[in-house]
Structure 1
Amino acid sequence: MAAVPRWRERLFGLYFLSHIPVTLLVDLPLLLPDGLRPRGLTELLEWYTATFRDPLMLQPPAWFKAFMYCEAVLQLPFFPVAVYAFLKGGCRWIRTPAIIYSTHAATTLFAILAHILFHDFSQSEQLGPRTQRERLTLLSVYVPYLLIPLLILVTMLYHPHYNHVEKRKRK
């Protein structure tokens, strides 16, 4: 049976490893009331939203906050497990949790990318990409969080290492 290329497992492991501080320092503070958010994190958020014109992070709509709650409750506990499995390499038991994670992440990213691509930000005073270049710049921030989960999904579904079904011995 073919082994998964180590570069791919390392990519997945590093993706999940990098996702831990991003989730803790950028995404989850959005769920805190303004007065409870540490000043440094507020300044980081302000810099990010001004640089990338990301309206979702400055004034997150309810649907986006729902995604952040899912990230906090469902995804964040999975990240260290995935880091271990992929950096150790060859762990077949990660298949089902990785499929669940990757389909959930891809689904949420489709909604986010559609909002960035199709929402008319020019009709409001709120922050948002106004030009095609600004939209593409903002998309470049989010697209890796779609592409890597899709690569994880394809790997888990179709690579012989993870897709191998072991035959049980009959008693």
Structure 2
Amino acid sequence: MTVDTAYFFYFLIHTPLTLLIDDTFLIPAKYQLPIQRTLYEYQVVHNKDFLASELPLWMQYFVAVELVFQLPVFLISIGNYLKNGSKRLSTWLYPFILMYAFNAAFTSFQCLVYIYIQGPSYGLSSDETYTLLGLYTPTFVIPMLMIIDITVRLLKQSPKLKTN
């Protein structure tokens, strides 16, 4: 599997998660689909996700950016990958994927730090805190790997680097 194929599947999986879970942070409960409400409640109750239940203002801003910027990047990247015959994502997408990855990693890092520091004050045991950290960690690690990969790709395309 190529890296671009991995990105394709990541975006493909992340799209319904964004639409079914993450956007519930901004959509009032009375406008949510029953499945959205069920998934949200599962996240809060089963995973003891106090970020989802508390919905701090900074988290609401991050979710708004996810819906306005990140979701379109997912959809455009999926379409581009399919259009290119599963060969490779177009190079014009690299800056957008890099911006997505930076924003996602930054957002997830904020969440990880907040969970680690605040977990006990919300009554989470060490095990529960680490479980919740484990749920948020992939949304930090995968975008960080994207940052490295896309940065290397962009540097290889740089005319100045090619002449030296």
Structure 1-normalised TM-score? Answer: 0.82
**How many correspondences in the alignment?**
156
Deviation at 1:30, TM superposition (A): 1.9
Runs ≥4 residues deviating over 3 A:
84-88
Structure with larger Rg: 1
CA deviations on 1:6-30 (whole Å, 9 max, x unpaired) are 4321111111111110000001122
Q: Secondary structure of the residue that 2:2 maps to in structure 1?
A: helix
Letter in 1 for 2:130: L
Q: Return the structure number with greater relative CO, CA threshold 8 A, min gap 6.
A: 1
Whether 2:162 is the aligned partner of 1:163: answer no
> Contact 1:13–1:85 (CA<8 Å) still a contact in 2?
no
Residue pair 1:156, 1:163 contacting (<8 A) in 2 also: no
What residue number does 1:31 align with?
A: 26
* Counterpart-to-counterpart distance in 2, 1:133 and 1:102: 28
Whether the 8 Å contact between 1:99 and 1:152 is mirrored in structure 2 is yes
The amino acid across from 2:126 in the alignment is: Q
Percent identity between matched residues is 28
1:111-122 superposed matches below 5 A:
111-122=110-121
Partner AA of 1:165 in structure 2: S
Q: Deviations over 1:48-96 (max 9, x none)?
A: 2111110111231111111111111111111112224454415222221
Q: What amino acid is aligned across from residue 116 of structure 2 in structure 1?
A: L
User: How far apart in 2 are the matches of 1:94 and 1:20?
Assistant: 17
The aligned runs of 1:128-167 (5 Å cut-off) are 128=122, 130-159=124-153, 163-166=156-159
C-alpha contact (below 8 Å) 2:120/2:129 kept by paired residues: no
Distance 1:10 1:133 in 2: 34
Root mean square deviation of aligned Cα: 2.1
Q: Give the partner amino acid of 2:15.
A: I
Shift of 1:159: 4.2
Structure with the largest fraction of helix: 2
* Map of 2:35 onto structure 1: 40
In the TM superposition, what whole-angstrom CA distance separates every residue of 1:116-156 from its partner, at most 9, and x where no partner exists?
A: 1111543xxxxx46111111111111111111111111011
Distance 1:14 1:129, change over 3 A: farther
9, 14, 17: which one aligns with 1:19: 14
Which residue identity does 1:149 align to in structure 2?
Answer: P
Q: Is the 8 A contact 2:24 2:32 kept in 1?
A: yes
